[in-house]
Structure 1
């Protein structure tokens, strides 16, 4: 299902109002249809909802184009290896289509495993192209293994080498054009921080000071939970003035991830039911301690809650771990 989601708004753009029975022409939100749209030109973003996750349509097109390139590469490999027309290929090796589909699927799965279709990976830096090269190397090994495991789809080494060469050239050109032509800011994850204290301010500092982390996210701002009193430690310009349900605000700003940065959750006004609603809509909900651990590889001790230490996976003891420690 394709849904038009509102863009991330810059400081000079105001969010459009939300209504239970709006229509797309006015930019209102319709609860029944789950539709949110407002045209801001370059800020407009189209998302495809796949398994309750919103994926930019640009990445869907990229995956589709690369699948087609991989499919045609196998066909070209057969054609050049066995010159004489399609009929001779069918007689000697059977149908090309199953082999081309297998080749395309194996390579797409391998590229996906290397993160080539994630929003965060579309950076165009040297690491991006190294991962692209590594995905093809691993994919060629996986494809070689697959054709021997499935005898009916056996593909000669010459054909496979030609197909890999065509696929690599075609995919590389596609990736270069994608990085150059697509607005990469539209692919960044939209981040909302719930909380305005000193811990929440550290997230903004991390995004500004750490380029590797900052380039992954489009920071929306800080939200005061519920009717909690405001004692902000964050810039006033980044405070959201919106009121209403958390889900409505998340929809308004097309939020992809919520980071909760509240120490006293019981008296903060944060409604767990609102967080659950957002979670069910495919929005990632992350505790600030887990966010720092994931992005920096370190645990911020002053951001820890006892619940994080209890439920964290980092404190498991196994027999192998005990032996290594000894």
Structure 2
């Protein structure tokens, strides 16, 4: 497990005593872990001098950078009231703060990238950024998510609240927690989409449903004349299961990505120019293979 080194007190008083719980102005929202369904994360409240209340630093993986760039999602629905790099102000680096109403808010700090703008309304489980290590200039920290729950009824740090995920209070000071965020309903919500997987400049030009297990997508980049294929899972999201994606440019060898993946297979890309392509993929027992098509 990566050890988070965070010595900056986030621009606040270096008080090390835990804050006393406060009473929020309204009922607590049904907070979920700020990560996609079924992911397991280690939360730590005792590994940073920046913690003066019930803050939690989250990591997973066996190396300090194993989770760099991992998706961070909203713990509950609300309105984005901060989306900014506050490194030079308080050491939070890229920070997203969500107001959930009733006097409750959550903080997501040190993000590598922010995916939501100020004023945006976000749903529970919606991607809001990527885990990172942004902070105050000169403050070198290992990647982690700094997560806080606050209320408006008292001043900091007494307004920090113990985190509750899926109705269960976090086991302070350290606990491994499995995410139930967006796991309910008619299927798991995948935090990734085809354009995000294939990259900037690609647009979806075709798709094929793989039963209820996923969807294979064919994308095209008009600037580079390249195609890209990815298969996005719809079930067993966040848990490794069989999935594949392939792309074959007419006259060239087939390229494929096959294995047990948490969210998607691919991206598989190749320059096609004026040639036809055959594409497809699989998820679980469902497969799809197109004829040569999308020529030129």
Q: TM-score range, shorter-chain basis? A: under 0.3
TM-score by length of 2: 0.23
Greater Rg by CA? 1
* Greater helix fraction, Structure 1 or Structure 2: 1
TM-score by length of 1: 0.21
